[in-house]
Amino acid sequence: MPIYSTKSAMLAADPADVLDVLQFALLLEHLEADFYTRGMAASGLIPTEDRVLFGTIRDHETTHVTALQGLITARGATPVAKPTFDYTAKGALPGFNFGATQYETFKALAMAFEDTGVRAYKGQVGRLMTEKGVLNAALAIHSVEARHAAEVRRLRGKKGWITGNSRDDLPAFTQGIYDGEDTLTQGGVAIASLPNASTFGGATGGSEAFDEPLTKEQVTAIILPFLP
Amino acid sequence: MAQRPAMHIADAGLLATPRTRRDMLRLMALGGTAVFLPSMLAACSDDNDGMTGPTPGGGNTLTIDFSKGDIAVLQFAYALEQLEADFYTRVVDRFSSSNIPTAERTLLTDIRNHEIAHREFLKAALGATNGFTLTATYPNINFEDRTSVLNAARTFEDLGVAAYNGAGQYLTNAANLTIAGKIVSVEARHASAIRDLISPKTNAFSPSAFDDVFSPGKVAAAAQGFVVDKLAFANAPTAFVQGPNNNG
């Protein structure tokens, strides 16, 4: 069982691999930063009482972009440029353009992006184990994305955590963001079969208690509709 | 560097049954901070008004021995999860006499469930050999008062996030790092929700673009205020790589 292993089982994490993670993370942060920047700039979209909340998230995502660009530049590489994103998701959200009547869609997309961000970083940290400074930056961002996710989810009247593989009321095309979140085996331990499972709500509490990673390929499939 | 002798948590079973007084004294002398004995202060517990309890750090020494590698990191997490699970269990158990509104009771019950799940998972993962029981104490928490409960919850959740983030650098197995990641983001969701209950729709839910990355020593010092056992490390790593906030 991996949890007992004290032998190093590090993934091959050569410098090129770390750079690949950083560029991948930067693309995601570009998406988020651009989304919130446009949302905050859109006239009549975000109600006054929610502007501090989304302004905070926008500022964080913008800071993440700057930080990742700095880490990439420091490695002698060129940071990926910000693409022109398609927030209709290739027509899945027809007509979405940050319009004044589209706040519900904006919040739904925010939830989708934040829950994706959490899973995306979680899936990459294993490739950063040889560079502790970069690992720390990724972890420090990862948990902030989780704070954002919970806040946006709760703003939408949902629980701050993910139950099973439920996308709640998000459109079907977002299901890939939640697939696998119902995992109930952790480090070889069958969570819902633990002796005291009834004291934490069994499969419901057991799935909520653990967020799950996504691979780079899975995340790429999720964000592909938003790319030009 | 030579490792100094250390009694491990796993040796508690041996230490619990000294055959003679001389054995007991010999065991207690070992390493100074490395002895784990059955709780002797449990009998002193006085929690009838929710405001008092055993003195933090007044109990027996609970040592995490980092020569165990990833297991030690998971033991450290297990200690924190025991504390969190115990805290929220007390919160929920006091609902009948607390001023916490109904909607917040649902949220706090969910969090209790998650923390118990974390605790029970780590208990199963570590097994009897590497397991231990931590005794919590809450000198300044009124479990019947919403503000007191939420402020304490915020402390625990933020500390949990910073602890997992800071412990990641000591994990050598990628699978264990992923498991820590699975837990820490749920702790961050908790922190966000609790903070938003305290200060709705402000920037409180996420006060910084980067969460804190705390060294185990910093975390233990903060957690000690709520733990009867005297927390100690053996063979603790000397190097700690700071996170973006440079405050660990």
Contact B70 A151 (CB under 8 A): no
Chain CA centroid to CA B236, Å: 17
Instruction: Please check whether residue B185 is in contact with residue A211, taking contact to mean a CB–CB distance below 8 angstroms.
Output: yes
Question: What are A60-87's pLDDT values in tens digits?
Answer: 999 999 999 999 999 999 999 999 999 9
Residue B3 has pLDDT above 90, yes or no: no
Q: Which of A14 and A23 is assigned the larger pLDDT? A: A23
Rounded to two decimals, the pTM is 0.88
Confidence of residue A14 (pLDDT cuts 50, 70, 90): low
- Give me the DSSP letters along B7-25: --GGGHHHHT--SSHHHHH
Of A126, A144, A211, the CB nearest to B186: A211
pLDDT at res. B42: 36
Question: What are A23-49's pLDDT values in tens digits?
Answer: 999 999 999 999 999 999 999 999 999
In the DSSP assignment, the letter for residue B62 is: E
On whether any CB of chain A is under 8 Å from the CB of B118, the answer is yes
Distance (Å) from the C-alpha of residue B228 to the closest C-alpha of chain A? 24
Distance (Å) from the C-alpha of residue A213 to the closest C-alpha of chain B? 7
Confidence of residue B1 (pLDDT cuts 50, 70, 90): very low
Could you count the other beta carbons within 10 Å of the beta carbon of residue A184? Answer: 16
pLDDT at res. A16: 79
Distance (Å) from the C-alpha of residue A190 to the closest C-alpha of chain B? 9
Contact B205 A208 (CB under 8 A): no
Contacts of B107 in chain A (CB under 8 A): 159-160
Q: Which of A87, A68, A82 is nearest to A141 (CA)?
A: A68
Token pair, residue A196, equals 């005291």
Looking at chain A, the whole-number percentage of residues with pLDDT higher than 90 is 93
Of B68, B116, B126, the CB nearest to A200: B116
Q: Which residues of B108-125 are buried (b: 16+ CB within 10 A; e: fewer)?
A: bbbbbbbbbbbbbbbbbb
Looking at chain B, the whole-number percentage of residues with pLDDT higher than 90 is 79
Residue B115 has pLDDT above 90, yes or no: yes
Distance set, CA B170 to CA A215, B67, B68, B72, B240 (Å) = 23, 11, 11, 9, 9
Distance (Å) from the C-alpha of residue B216 to the closest C-alpha of chain A? 14
ipTM over 0.90: yes
Q: Is B172 exposed, middle or buried (0-12, 13-18, 19+ CB in 10 A)?
A: middle
Confidence of residue B12 (pLDDT cuts 50, 70, 90): very low
On whether any CB of chain A is under 8 Å from the CB of B174, the answer is yes
Question: What are A149-199's pLDDT values in tens digits?
Answer: 999 999 999 999 999 999 999 999 999 999 999 999 999 999 999 999 999
Of A11, A52, A210, the CB nearest to B174: A11
pLDDT at res. B192: 99
Confidence of residue B19 (pLDDT cuts 50, 70, 90): very low
Locate all alpha helices (DSSP H) within chain A, ordered by sequence: 15-41, 51-74, 103-124, 132-155, 202-208, 216-223
Of A135, A140, A155, the CB nearest to B211: A140
Confidence of residue B80 (pLDDT cuts 50, 70, 90): very high
Q: How far apart are CA A84 and CA A71, in angstroms?
A: 23
Contacts of B193 in chain A (CB under 8 A): 150-151, 154, 160
Q: How far apart are CA A111 and CA A126, in angstroms?
A: 25
Instruction: Please check whether residue B78 is in contact with residue B119, taking contact to mean a CB–CB distance below 8 angstroms.
Output: yes
pLDDT at res. B52: 60
Instruction: Return the residue matching tokens 């959490």.
Output: A118
Computed on alpha carbons and rounded to an integer, the radius of gyration of chain B in Å comes to: 18
Confidence of residue B53 (pLDDT cuts 50, 70, 90): confident
Could you count the other beta carbons within 10 Å of the beta carbon of residue B84? Answer: 27
